[in-house]
């Protein structure tokens, strides 16, 4: 089975048999990358364009230079990465252009994967951003999610007749998965100015 990052099967037409596969049966990212693996084991040719979150914009020659990034308050050294997939200009998750960051612990273990749908791009892509979170929930199994529907803020209103602010958390094996989905616009804003996005975080929840 292909990993989440490029698994076409996780679209809206996926079958229940695929949706309920155990998390341990698949990797999280392109190239067989899974949360908890060592930086040295990540295929060097499958990713490119590395740059630190801190110091902001600091470029790295290779993933092996992850220690050049500053550690955050949680001790993780986080860097942006792009997939090096033949024929693709963007880093895609289930067809959605995304920003991808990888967070490494002091021992080089991949402790956090963060996937954010991009805020800019063609309208037909932006209108589907909130669906990625739903696809991720299916990918990691429909059961066991603790989800909250949050109210819109005082300066937020539905997009047409629709709005969504959802926060979901699930622990499955060595993964703790957090998914936030948003669909709304700022009160009084133009129709094209809206928030439609998914924010996915996969944390290592196992023992060292």
Read off the pTM.
Answer: 0.83
Q: Ramachandran region of residue 52, left (φ > 0), alpha (ψ -120 to 50) or beta? A: beta
Residue among 174, 179, 193 at smallest CA distance from 22:
174
The Cα–Cα gap between 100 and 199 comes to 10
Radius of gyration of the chain (CA): 17
3-state secondary structure of 21: coil
Those residues with Cβ within 8 angstroms of residue 13's Cβ, 6 or more apart along the chain or in another chain: none
Residue 183: is it exposed, middle or buried by C-beta count within 10 angstroms (0-12/13-18/19+)? Answer: buried
Distances in whole angstroms, Cα of residue 189 to Cα of each of 5, 16, 186: 33, 39, 5
- Determine the Cα–Cα distance for residues 21 and 31; give it in Å rounded to an integer: 19
Distinct helix (H) and strand (E) counts, the chain: 3, 11
- What is the structure's pLDDT at 166? 92
Structural tokens at position 79: 């860097």
Question: In a structure prediction context, what are the per-residue pLDDT tens digits for the chain, which is 208 residues long?
Answer: 345 554 433 333 332 222 233 344 578 998 899 999 999 999 989 999 999 999 998 999 999 999 999 999 999 999 999 999 888 888 888 888 899 999 999 999 999 999 999 876 565 566 678 889 999 999 899 899 999 998 888 888 887 778 888 999 999 999 999 999 988 877 877 766 777 889 999 999 987 5
d(CA 142, CA 16): 9
């Amino acid at each position: 089975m292909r990993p989440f990052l490029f698994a076409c099967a996780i679209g809206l037409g996926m079958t229940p048999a695929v949706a309920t596969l155990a998390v341990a049966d698949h990797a999280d990212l392109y190239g067989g990358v899974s949360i908890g693996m060592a930086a040295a084991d990540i295929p060097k040719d499958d990713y490119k364009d590395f740059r630190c979150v801190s110091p902001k914009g600091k470029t790295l020659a290779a993933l092996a230079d992850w220690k050049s990034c500053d550690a955050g308050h949680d001790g993780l050294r986080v860097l942006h990465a792009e997939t090096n997939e033949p024929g693709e200009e963007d880093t895609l998750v289930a067809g959605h252009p995304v920003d991808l960051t990888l967070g490494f612990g002091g021992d080089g273990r991949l402790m956090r994967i963060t996937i954010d749908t991009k805020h800019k791009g063609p309208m037909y892509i932006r209108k589907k951003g909130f669906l990625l979170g739903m696809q991720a929930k299916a990918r990691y199994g429909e059961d066991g999610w603790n989800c909250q529907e949050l109210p819109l803020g005082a300066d937020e209103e539905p997009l047409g007749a629709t709005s969504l602010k959802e926060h979901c958390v699930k622990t499955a094996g060595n993964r703790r998965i957090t998914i936030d989905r948003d669909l709304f616009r700022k009160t009084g804003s133009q129709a094209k100015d809206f928030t439609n996005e998914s924010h996915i975080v996969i944390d290592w929840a196992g023992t060292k």
